[in-house]
Amino acid sequence: MTNHSETTGPSENGGIPGPRQSNGKALVPSVPGADEHQVTLRTPAELADALPYLLGYRPEDSIVLAALRDREGRGRFGGRARLGIPANTDDWSCAARQLVQGLVTGSECRGVRPEQMVAYLCQEPAPGETGREVMERLRPLAQRLRVECGALDVPVVEALCISAGRFWSYCCDDQACCPAEGLPMGLPGTSVLAAAATYAGIQVRGSLSDLRARLLPGESASAADQTAALDAAATTLVARILDTEGRSEVARETLESAERIMRRLAAAPPVSGVPAEDLRDDHLLGDDEAAALILGLQDRTTRDRAAGWMEGDEAAPALRLWRALARRCVGPYGEHAAAPLTLAGWVAWSTGDELEAREALAMALGADPDYLFARLLHQACNEGLDPESIRCCLRAEREDRAAGGVGQTGPDGGALPEEDTRPDGGAIRDGGAIPDGGTRPDGGPVSHGGDRAGVTGLRKPCAPREPAPTPQQPSARRRRTRGPNPADGTRRRARTASREPRAGLARGRGGSQAEDAGATGRRTRGEGQ
């Protein structure tokens, strides 16, 4: 199965119009924040036109479910979920069950159980295939969705297939409104719902493939030059990163270079169109600069500090830089993209763009499934947590570093203070930005399932401070355990770098393991994520 699943928005309205139902089929989405303006969706054509506004983008090769709930006698859109259509038809039953149960369970966890569903199947025809043939080929999948929803007592009130610019209804056999040849989709942006969404400030992007293209390396002649630059950077930087003193220098150089390039990006003149914007940023970033940043960000302490550029005037150029670096992770350095992709996902989430955040974080986990920072953020974003709790931690760490209280690097790669008290006497609590046993903004428990070492040096938000030890009780002032001496940490990382294959290591392009130092650098990653 080639699954890419997500729940788009909370089960309330999630930033998309909510609905009313009339005579079992009419839905009335209301514009968020403007309930007096309502748009009635009475026909399959209007439901088909509403799909991009429910998701915020135009889905491709997708199964989409939109939950309906009742409020004061009016059906309203609740949670939405999307899953890629499996290529193997044997997986359709499992995919339908997974999607339906995930959406219903997720909605129940938020306190609103769906009462009805609207299902969409979106797929473009293969070469030589027509849209109607796609509709007929996907009919068993639509039936599986209806069966799975019915098993949970959540009936499907409409199921639509969208293909080749036309749509078909699997629930309506009235030739007057749903002819066998299908009906053409309306021009984008010309419906009443499009006008209402524009008035409410709801933006519809292109497809997910368009969004991913901004984060993927392109196939071009410059890829060879970038690979050579990465090889050269690895030759010098990897050995320095593995050295305790050299690591601090590399971190400083990486962050200073990133700040310099961000200022360069911010000062660049604007251009029209997303492709032109990305091309402009690529021209402003040299191969050697990109290589040094990509290698430097493999150190988790450096990466965590770079995550502090998450708001205000810093956020936009930082996001552009992380996108550009992800596009430079070419050839054997594909797994190194986990760091810039995670940073791109974090900044996108912090600035309110959950769609790009989910895609970037999912791509980071695709590059390195064991990348703990991406795993933590991806789950938190999908659970609808407020990123402010993480921003609070990063702001506090930034202030502490500016005050000189935190920032020393331990032999295991973590940012460790000299003692376990801050300059103000409060206790320093290491761990993830969303710790086990914490609480979400809605009061529910947080369980992220990942190793908290994925976010180095972040403290629990709102954790109570322990009183500073008094001079009469010197034994209460504990020193943090640092583990083995720095040489032991270096040897551990050297052993880690020598193991192949491993999810966290990039393979060389061939030849023996006794190649030059650049090949060794391609296989070396930071030990902690």
Contacts of 227 (CB under 8 A, 6+ apart): 330, 331, 332, 333
pLDDT of residue 425: 38
pLDDT of residue 427: 37
Cα angle 108, 109, 111 (rounded to 5 degrees) comes to 60
Write out the DSSP string of 464-488. Answer: PPPPPPPTT-GGGSPPPP--S-HHH
pLDDT of residue 173: 82
pLDDT of residue 510: 37
pLDDT of residue 516: 36
Cα angle 112, 115, 116 (rounded to 5 degrees) comes to 130
212 or 521, higher pLDDT: 212
The answer on pLDDT for 72 being more than 60 is: no
Tokens representing residue 138 in the block: 């996907």
Strand partners for 161: 121, 168
337 or 528, higher pLDDT: 337
Burial category of 333 from C-beta neighbours within 10 Å (exposed 0-12, middle 13-18, buried 19 and up): buried
For 353-408, the pLDDT digits (tens) are 998 999 999 999 999 999 999 999 999 998 888 999 999 999 999 998 888 754 44
Cα angle 344, 245, 332 (rounded to 5 degrees) comes to 45
The answer on pLDDT for 191 being more than 60 is: yes
pLDDT of residue 190: 61
| Long-range contacts, 281-287 (Cβ 8 Å, 24+) | 281/320, 281/321, 281/323, 281/324, 282/324, 282/327, 285/261, 285/321, 285/324, 285/325, 285/328, 287/222, 287/225, 287/226, 287/228, 287/229, 287/328
> Mean pLDDT across the stretch 125-133?
95
Strands (E), 335-422: none
The answer on pLDDT for 344 being more than 70 is: yes
Q: How confident is the model at residue 31 (pLDDT cuts 50, 70, 90)?
A: very low
- DSSP letter for 180, please: T
Which range among 161-165, 201-205, 423-427 has the greatest average pLDDT?
A: 161-165
For 97-116, the pLDDT digits (tens) are 999 999 999 888 888 889 99
pLDDT of residue 406: 42
Q: State what percent of residues in the chain have pLDDT above 90.
A: 49
CA 170, CA 386: separation in Å to the nearest integer? 39
Q: How confident is the model at residue 283 (pLDDT cuts 50, 70, 90)?
A: very high
pLDDT of residue 109: 85
pLDDT of residue 38: 62
pLDDT of residue 16: 32
Q: How confident is the model at residue 75 (pLDDT cuts 50, 70, 90)?
A: low
For 422-461, the pLDDT digits (tens) are 333 333 333 333 333 333 334 443 333 333 333 333 333 3
pLDDT of residue 259: 97
Q: Under a CB-based contact definition with an 8 Å cutoff, are residues 230 and 44 in contact?
A: no
> Mean pLDDT across the stretch 209-225?
87
Strands 74-84, 6-8: pairing kind: antiparallel
The answer on pLDDT for 93 being more than 90 is: yes
Mean pLDDT of the chain: 74
515 or 199, higher pLDDT: 199
- On the CB side of 78, how many CA atoms lie within 13 Å of its CA? 24
Which residue type sits at 358?
A: R
The answer on pLDDT for 133 being more than 60 is: yes
Q: Packing angle between helix 372-382 and helix 338-350, nearest 10 degrees?
A: 30
pLDDT of residue 280: 96
Write out the DSSP string of 426-474. Answer: PBP--S-SS-TT-B-TTSPBP---S-GGGSTTPPPTTPPPPPPPPTT-G
Cα-Cα-Cα-Cα dihedral sign, residues 242, 246, 251, 256: negative
CA 97, CA 151: separation in Å to the nearest integer? 10
Q: Under a CB-based contact definition with an 8 Å cutoff, are residues 136 and 165 in contact?
A: no
pTM: 0.65
pLDDT of residue 177: 80
